Amino acid sequence: MDLSVTLILAGLIMALAWLYSLKSRKHICLPPGPMALPLIGNLLQMDKKAPFKTMLKLSESYGPVITVYLGPLRVVVLVGYDAVKEALVDQADDFTGRAPVPLLMRATNGYGLGISNGERWRQLRRFTLTTLRDFGMGRKGMEEWINEESKHLIARINSAKATAFDPTYFLSCSVSNVICCLVFGQRFSYDDEHFLSLLEIISDTLAFGSSPWGQLYNIFPWLMERLPGRQHIRFAKIEELKKFIMKKIQEHQDTLEPSSPRDYVDCFLTRLKQMQQEIDTVIERERLPYMEDRKSLPFTDAVLHEIQRLLDIVPMSVPHYALHDISFRGYTIPKATLIIPLLHSVLKEEKQWETPWSFNPQHFLDQNDKFKKNPAFLPFSAGKRSCVGESLARMEIFLFLVSLLQRFTFSCPGGPDSVDLSPEHSSFANVPRRYQIIAMPRW
């Protein structure tokens, strides 16, 4: 389809959505704010270089809580200490959500402490704070790291010999090196060209995100993805940064000593192997697992449940059948009607699962990392026609997999990205593909 036709259709859809929102808005008591135009909202009123100044000015007319529209996006702005404190402190639980900013979502794929929400965010935040404290954040150990880097900073400034210089370069290297020591366990020379190019990528990305072009991407991502411009160059550079980080993670993986983590990455990788560590802690090396061990292996149990949920082996269940006319929710299901309880819709329902399409064992762990049940976990169906072999299957899954992980570390010959996890056939059942693996004995 021609690009211009696509843009026209998109514009019409947006206009219809806007008209619908105007109609539905009558039933919502929104904070006051200026009148907004279709599609572009209040963008023409905004200071392009400093939109926050416009918002502050609008609060003089509409009060400390106002509604504005950045394109089609509705935004409620809190102005002043009282409004901000009441929201972020007094009603903290209501305001913990992080907006899916398109620029950040595109750069991070929705992962990371800054952009994630819900249980994923809570777990990652708790892990990060604990790890940073263990490595001395806010204590004397961190002082030593910073002071060590200060020596390099002082030396570089001395090298300017009291002539004029731009401090941005030296200060960026110093601050970044402290973070690199914490995350990667190493610092980089101020003359390391690769390190400097990565700092430049970060700086340019921040500048782009604050520019009018970057703000347009956040407001109209669907359009900016289709138009030529600097955004494509920026995202290509971000991929270079990701490759550097993945290289460092692989280096850590190859030299990992779980008993003596060197930095944040080591702690994270060790956490990823928590399942085998948990098994090693609970089950003696020479004995096989028993079902009574399950209560002492909450993370392992959560992983096994999440595997079953994500595999979604029988998405349409075994069909049911109306043996007589059935009244259901005010409707009549006639006799001889085929009935399909769509288990797929239960195992992937957004209301029931924090990240329904991602592998996330936290779906089955509470805030204290104890196993928790979820009533929407129905891989064996439910009711009087649920799978009669459910208890046997659960026992086999637990005992087989725990005993294997107790003795082997599994990997893929071509790396994890070489395996296609999509089903080979998907209709009545999601039939997994066949593949090869490597089993390395652990002892």
pLDDT on residue 370:
92
Q: Which two tokens stand for residue 83?
A: 């409004």
Over residues 362-386, the mean pLDDT reads 88
Q: Which residue has the higher pLDDT, 34 or 412?
A: 34
SS3 277: helix
User: Is residue 61 pLDDT above 80, yes or no?
Assistant: yes
Domain residue ranges of the chain, discontinuous segments joined by + = 3-95, 118-270, 273-441
Q: Which residue has the higher pLDDT, 369 or 14?
A: 369
Q: Which two tokens stand for residue 59?
A: 């609060």
User: Is residue 208 pLDDT above 90, yes or no?
Assistant: no
Looking at residue 324, its amino acid is H
In this structure, which topology does domain 273-441 adopt according to CATH?
Answer: Cytochrome p450 (1.10.630)
Residue 4 confidence class, pLDDT cut points 50, 70, 90: low
Over residues 12-36, the mean pLDDT reads 66
pLDDT on residue 9:
57
Alpha-carbon distance 85 to 69, whole Å? Answer: 23
pLDDT on residue 295:
93
User: Is residue 7 pLDDT above 70, yes or no?
Assistant: no
pLDDT digits (tens, 9 = 90+) for 219-230: 788 888 787 878
pLDDT on residue 16:
58
Residue 35 confidence class, pLDDT cut points 50, 70, 90: very high
Q: Which two tokens stand for residue 412?
A: 């893929």
pLDDT on residue 134:
76
**Most confident by average pLDDT, 1-15, 92-106, 369-383, 410-424:** 369-383
User: Is residue 20 pLDDT above 60, yes or no?
Assistant: no
pLDDT on residue 159:
84
SS3 423: coil
pLDDT digits (tens, 9 = 90+) for 315-350: 878 777 778 887 777 777 777 777 778 888 888 888
Q: Which residue has the higher pLDDT, 144 or 353?
A: 353
Could you tell me which residues come within 8 angstroms of residue 294 by beta carbon, excluding any fewer than 6 positions away?
300, 301, 398
Q: Which residue shows structure tokens 């008993």? A: 259
Over residues 423-437, the mean pLDDT reads 77
pLDDT digits (tens, 9 = 90+) for 245-258: 888 888 887 887 77
pLDDT on residue 363:
93
Alpha-carbon distance 247 to 225, whole Å? Answer: 28
**Residue 385 to residues 346, 348, 406: CA-CA distances in angstroms?**
17, 21, 35
Q: Where are the alpha helices (DSSP H) in 94-160?
A: 102-108, 118-134, 140-158
pLDDT digits (tens, 9 = 90+) for 278-319: 888 888 878 889 889 999 999 999 999 999 999 888 887 877
pLDDT on residue 195:
85
Over residues 132-152, the mean pLDDT reads 73
The per-residue pLDDT of the chain, averaged, comes to 80
Over residues 154-163, the mean pLDDT reads 83
Buried residues in 381-407 as b, exposed as e (16+ CB within 10 A) = beeeeeeeeeeeebeeebbebbeebbb
Could you tell me which residues come within 8 angstroms of residue 68 by beta carbon, excluding any fewer than 6 positions away?
33, 34, 36, 41, 42, 55, 58, 75, 77
Alpha-carbon distance 337 to 190, whole Å? Answer: 73
Do the beta carbons of residue 211 and residue 224 sit within 8 Å?
A: no
pLDDT on residue 304:
94
